[in-house]
């Protein structure tokens, strides 16, 4: 059964066509990934389906009675302070309204002495009670307790102020609230943002077992591989559909691209031959004075005009050139930690923890939210010296660091000004280099403070590349960047000769880069050789 159908949807923002004839059909039970570059219109499509955005032209057909629920990427704070419990109960708005009416009717019936009025109240109560039962009013508390149990939402969390929750907690709470409404079509915009790996695995199970239809926008390729059975690539405002998960999409997209390139080459050869024939026939016509040759040339010209042209495809779609150069390597012992002890507000973070890193290793640091990953990074950087034990960096270490949340001292600087600062380049040299990192033409005059999250990550990497860094420390480097840029970053880090320590919940990224995984467990740093899949196999 078709749940929703989008036909030839067009959407403009000013002079920019975001959607230019986009069409999509979602069937009952499908789990569909919507992928594409940042700014391609993925979130716009979800908002259009959820009626949060209008369209300029096209048609939208939704199955009669289908209930739609959306998990937006950005969670606005509530206007007034509200507990998590009250925030979740907003899912039962209609039920609570009817329950309030039932309570009011009960009070009225208990005090009414007029027989006719009492009969009317009883009839109204019966109709209201039937409606209450029909929409699941009597199962409210059971549903609430079940969802809270599944999401590990305990009484302590229920009493907390919603506005003061972390990003990961808000993701969890908003998803729980959404599921309490039991939508037929679930729209998820970056549902894996801010979640730790254990929460991601729980979300995968939940999505896989969900009875309705799901449309997901996500950059988490591991998550998409686990849960989706159809992938839609949004490119140039139009859809390209692939009937499989993300890994299937990669292989099929490469096959289609190569096939289109071959078809393009063959068509160009055919066009060249047709042009040669036209030219030859005209010459013959002029020499022989025979109109027949001109008619044949005209016939070929008409065929050429009617020919549907195959677009030339770029076999190297990755347009950003990220390449790190290590001019001077460090010693073999990069980092040594022994008997590390760390407490914070009475909470034990590390207890007798040890760690050693060697030159050239690419190591992923994982663990649940709050386990101490960012704290450990701060200690290595020398920003947190309030600990016991030994922490020593090796000789000739030159650290390059990209934090999870990127801030700039002067957000009014342009991209060009920021890049020139500290670099001995002419403006022409700087603009040529910036173009290789995706900042072209007028984009170099963008204010730093107006850049997207992905652009901020790119410009920070761009600055680091100019320096002689032999120890890269990255805190959630794939946050805010699209899949194409993630793959470019992966290629750059694979070729990087120095040492890499990175915090990440992106399991696909960990698999691509890591030769060792450090998991913070029971206040210690446990080492597992291999990538993320090797780690999960070893702890089973």
- pLDDT tens for 32-45 read 999 988 778 899 99
Distances in Å between the Cα of 446 and the Cα atoms of 405, 417, 451, 456 are 20, 10, 7, 11
pLDDT of residue 227 exceeding 90: yes
Asked whether the beta carbons of 48 and 189 are under 8 A apart, the reply is no
Distances in Å between the Cα of 12 and the Cα atoms of 46, 56, 135 are 15, 7, 39
Nearest to 504 by CA among 538, 481, 488, 529: 481
Q: Give the separation between CA 356 and CA 29, rounded to whole angstroms.
A: 48
Tokens of 271: 């066009």
- pLDDT tens for 332-388 read 899 999 999 999 888 899 999 999 999 999 999 999 878 889 899 999 999 999 999
pLDDT of residue 318 exceeding 60: no
Prediction pTM value: 0.76
Tokens of 459: 């410009």
Asked whether the beta carbons of 148 and 176 are under 8 A apart, the reply is yes
Q: Give the separation between CA 494 and CA 431, rounded to whole angstroms.
A: 27
Radius of gyration, alpha carbons of the chain: 30
Q: Which of 57-61, 163-167, 311-315 has the lowest mean pLDDT?
A: 311-315
* Distance, first Cα to last Cα, the chain: 39
Strands lying side by side in the sheet with 16-27: 16-27, 2-13, 57-62
Q: Which of 211-215, 241-245, 414-418 has the lowest mean pLDDT?
A: 414-418
Asked whether the beta carbons of 29 and 144 are under 8 A apart, the reply is no
Q: Give the separation between CA 26 and CA 208, rounded to whole angstroms.
A: 16
pLDDT of residue 406 exceeding 90: no
Q: Give the separation between CA 344 and CA 371, rounded to whole angstroms.
A: 11
Q: Give the separation between CA 433 and CA 474, rounded to whole angstroms.
A: 23
Nearest to 102 by CA among 61, 132, 59: 132
Nearest to 75 by CA among 147, 5, 3, 176: 176
């Amino acid at each position: 059964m078709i749940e929703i159908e989008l036909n030839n949807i067009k959407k403009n923002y000013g002079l920019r066509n975001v959607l230019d004839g986009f069409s999509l059909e979602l069937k009952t039970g499908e789990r569909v990934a919507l992928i594409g570059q940042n700014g391609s219109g993925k979130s716009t499509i979800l908002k259009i389906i959820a009626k949060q955005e209008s369209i300029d032209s096209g048609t939208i057909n939704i199955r009669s009675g289908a209930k739609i629920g959306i998990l937006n990427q950005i969670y606005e704070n509530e206007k007034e302070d509200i507990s998590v419990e009250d925030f979740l109960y907003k899912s039962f708005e209609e039920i609570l309204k009817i329950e309030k009416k039932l309570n009011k009717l009960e009070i009225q019936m208990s005090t009414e002495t007029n027989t006719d009025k009492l009969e009317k109240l009883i009839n109204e109560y019966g109709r209201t009670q039937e409606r209450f039962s029909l929409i699941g009013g009597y199962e409210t508390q059971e549903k609430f307790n079940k969802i809270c149990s599944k999401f590990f939402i305990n009484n302590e969390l229920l009493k907390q102020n919603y506005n003061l929750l972390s990003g990961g907690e808000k993701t969890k709470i908003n998803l729980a609230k959404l599921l309490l409404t039991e939508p037929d079509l679930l729209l998820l915009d970056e549902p894996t943002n801010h979640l730790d790996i254990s929460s991601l695995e729980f979300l995968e199970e939940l999505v896989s077992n969900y009875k309705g239809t799901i449309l997901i926008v996500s950059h988490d390729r591991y998550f998409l591989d686990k849960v989706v059975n159809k992938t839609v690539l949004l490119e140039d405002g139009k859809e390209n559909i692939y009937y499989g998960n993300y890994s299937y999409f990669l292989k099929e997209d490469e096959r289609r691209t190569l096939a289109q390139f071959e078809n393009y080459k063959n068509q160009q050869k055919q066009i060249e031959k047709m042009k040669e024939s036209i030219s030859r026939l005209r010459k013959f016509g002029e020499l022989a004075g025979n109109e027949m040759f001109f008619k044949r040339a005209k016939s070929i010209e008409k065929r050429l005009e009617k020919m549907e042209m195959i677009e030339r495809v770029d076999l190297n779609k990755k347009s950003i050139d990220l390449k790190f150069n290590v001019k001077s390597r460090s010693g073999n012992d990069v980092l040594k930690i022994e008997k590390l002890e760390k407490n914070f507000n009475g909470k034990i973070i590390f207890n007798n923890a040890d760690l050693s890193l060697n030159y050239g290793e690419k190591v992923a640091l994982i663990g649940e939210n709050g386990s101490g990953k960012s704290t450990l990074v701060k200690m290595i950087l020398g920003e947190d010296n309030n600990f016991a034990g030994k922490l020593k960096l090796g000789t000739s270490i030159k650290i390059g660091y990209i934090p999870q949340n990127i801030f700039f001292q002067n957000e009014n600087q342009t991209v060009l000004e920021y890049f020139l600062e500290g670099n001995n380049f002419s403006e022409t040299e700087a603009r040529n280099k910036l173009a290789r990192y995706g900042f072209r033409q007028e984009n170099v005059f963008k204010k730093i403070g107006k850049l997207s999250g992905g652009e901020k990550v790119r410009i920070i990497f761009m600055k680091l590349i100019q320096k002689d860094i032999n120890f890269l420390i990255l805190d959630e480097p794939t946050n805010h960047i699209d899949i194409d840029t993630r793959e470019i970053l992966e290629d750059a880090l694979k070729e990087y000769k120095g040492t890499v320590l990175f915090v990440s919940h992106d399991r696909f990224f960990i698999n691509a880069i890591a030769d060792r995984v450090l998991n913070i467990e029971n206040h210690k740093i446990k080492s597992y050789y291999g990538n993320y899949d090797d780690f999960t196999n070893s702890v089973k």
